[in-house]
A and B are shown apart, each in its own frame.
Chain A
Amino acid sequence: MTLQTDWRGMLNPAVRDLPPSGIRRFFDLVTEVKGIISLGVGEPDFVTPWHIREACVYSLEKGYTMYTSNHGMLELREEIARDIRDTYKVDYNPRSEVLVTVGVSEGLDLAMRTLLRPGDEVMIPQPSYVSYAPCVILAGGRPVYLKTSVEDGFQLAAEQVEKAITPRARILVLSYPNNPTGATIDRKNLLEIAEVAAAHNLVVISDEVYDKLTYVGEHTCVSSLPGMRERTVLLNGFSKAYAMTGWRVGYAAGNGDFISAMTKIHQYTMLCAPITAQLAALEALKNGRREMRKMIDMYNRRRRLVVDAFREIGLPCFEPRGAFYAFPDIRSTGLTSEEFAVQLLNEEKVLVVPGNAFGEQGEGFVRCAYAASLEDLGEALKRMGSFVKRRLGRGKVLTASFRKPEQDEGEGMRQTV
């Protein structure tokens, strides 16, 4: 018996059977191609604004290199609470109801582990960010997928939640503005969903990391809805709004008992978020508004340009109202999402992410991040234009012989309601 088989036998089955991220798999293809323009990056193309970086450098010079409170620095929690109050008129006590985490990712993991008992069900709208289901599975829960579609603007409807309710239903995940679709959700829908959540005593975990990147209408913070503050775990961070992805700093806000339970896991596994990142986040909240607005204006302009270009090319594109992704419909090419992405990469050296990486509901779409320079976007769209033209010109008959998308992975994660 080789060492390798030994190790596989020793693995926790929940981890062993966890499918790798669909995006990660795609990554292997990419490393072999040189000179690509990538629209596959889920992070701002801006570097963190200088005043934030400078504040961090200064803090290092001053010797801020130690642990902070497990909860995160009080001053930062106070600023976070102030920001939520100023923006959404929801009050959180910075001393007991806010926890600074290592990005929203940690917040998500902690929330699942704090709440889930084995076999509990977590409802996740799809398509959505790739981490939700794995975090549920690793915490012993069972993901239940709620399909959203382009026809409904990728918005979740209350009746879908209602229909998916079982005695084991515990948590509903909401993530608007949405990655990968760029969809936002109407306040009216949220109000109806809130009623269902209350009727069935669901906890709502709301990942609002793209809240500031809302271009049409206003973002509704889930915990600002009547009765929702008490049953919502609000997750947010600094990565997207302040271009601070690599700093890994975010926060969770919610009921005090819940936050203190969550803090226990955080304290034993993470201790605290890095102090340098916390100090940078503090600077972002105190003085980062102007730079943030500037970046958001730029995303918004690119957003319109990109959507317009896709429609021109002949790819119907649902209007993304938030985040920095466009999610064009590529079905007219006769290709699957993966075929489209792979062939586009090989022929035109433009990288997009196949929609099915975000759940089977994403099949027929590709995710294009427009967090890229105007030059790169223009060139990428030109290349995509000629790629699509060749496909549309060829007609759909020929594409019938293309292989079906591989279904070998992710089956276990794709049960849908």
Chain B
Amino acid sequence: MREVLELLESDARLTAGQIATMLGRDEEEVARIIKESEEKKLIQGYFTLVDWDKLGAEKVSAVIEVKISPQRDVGFDAVAERIYRFPEVRSVRLMSGAYDLIVMIEGGTMKEVAHFVSFKLASMEYVLSTATHFVLKTYKHHGVIIDDKEEDRRQVIMP
């Protein structure tokens, strides 16, 4: 199971047949593992990593440190949910340390992001404070080095 998931994580386009060959297993067995993993939500989705910068698309992202006061019975979860329901929020994580949530947000313009922070996020009940950091450049994303300059420099033929 683990090996199948690792392979899919590295390349979601691999077919059950290819994975089966690579792992020396039966195709039907692999297909079943994939289906089960999807059903159990072990596999949460299949995505494509796009370098939007290269396309020249106008996109602004920011990480926002959020301090909140936890609520009785639900702790941080209820506030987190109110935040992650917004589609412009790409990720929300509860952190140890000086702040509670780290929120990654993506918008078309800096104004949009600023608008979201001041009107939606900072003004939310139980949110004590926010600190917004705009992303200037992404070097590595989901384990992939953006615009990796390392290429195949081997001689074409060697003993």
Which residues of A are in contact with B by a Cβ distance under 8 Å? 21, 23, 26-27, 30, 36, 38, 40-43, 45, 47, 129-131, 179, 301-302, 304-305, 308, 351, 353, 357, 374
Contact = CB atoms under 8 A, between A and B. Distances in A.
A41 B22 contact: no
B157 A304 contact: no
Contacts of B138: none
Given A129-B159, A131-B159, 16 more contacts: A26-B157, A27-B155, A27-B156, A30-B156, A30-B157, A36-B156, A40-B157, A41-B155, A42-B159, A43-B154, A45-B154, A179-B159, A301-B7, A304-B21, A305-B21, A374-B11
Contacts of A36: 156
A42 B158 contact: yes
B18 interface: yes
A41 B156 contact: yes
B157 A305 contact: no
Interface string B1-21: 000000100010000001001
Interface centre among B11, B21, B150, B159 (most CB of A within 10 A): B159
A301 B23 contact: yes
Nearest to A37: B156
Nearest to A374: B11
B18 A305 contact: yes
B22 A40 contact: no
19 contacts: A21-B159, A23-B158, A27-B155, A36-B156, A38-B157, A40-B156, A40-B158, A45-B152, A45-B154, A47-B150, A129-B159, A131-B159, A301-B22, A302-B22, A304-B23, A308-B21, A353-B157, A353-B159, A357-B159
A307 to B, nearest CB: 9
Contacts of B45: none
A30 B158 CA distance: 12
B143 interface: no
Interface centre among B11, B22, B155, B157 (most CB of A within 10 A): B157
A351 B152 CA distance: 15
B56 to A, nearest CB: 26
Q: Among B21, B150, B155, B158, find the residue whose CB has the most chain A CB atoms closer than 10 A.
A: B158
A9 to B, nearest CB: 30
A21 B157 CA distance: 12
Given A304-B24, A305-B22, A308-B21, A41 B157 contact: yes
Given A45-B152, A304-B24, A305-B21, A130 B159 contact: yes
A40 B156 CA distance: 6
Top 4 nearest A-B pairs by Cβ distance? A301-B22, A40-B157, A38-B156, A42-B158
Nearest to B19: A301
Contacts of B155: 27, 41
Given A301-B7, A374-B11, A351 B156 contact: yes
A302 B7 CA distance: 12
B104 to A, nearest CB: 25
A41 B154 contact: yes
A203 B49 CA distance: 56
Contacts of A45: 152, 154
A30 B155 CA distance: 10
B139 to A, nearest CB: 14
Nearest to A27: B157
B25 to A, nearest CB: 10
Contacts of A21: 159
A224 B150 CA distance: 40
Contact of B158 (A43, A47, A302): A43
A23 B159 contact: yes
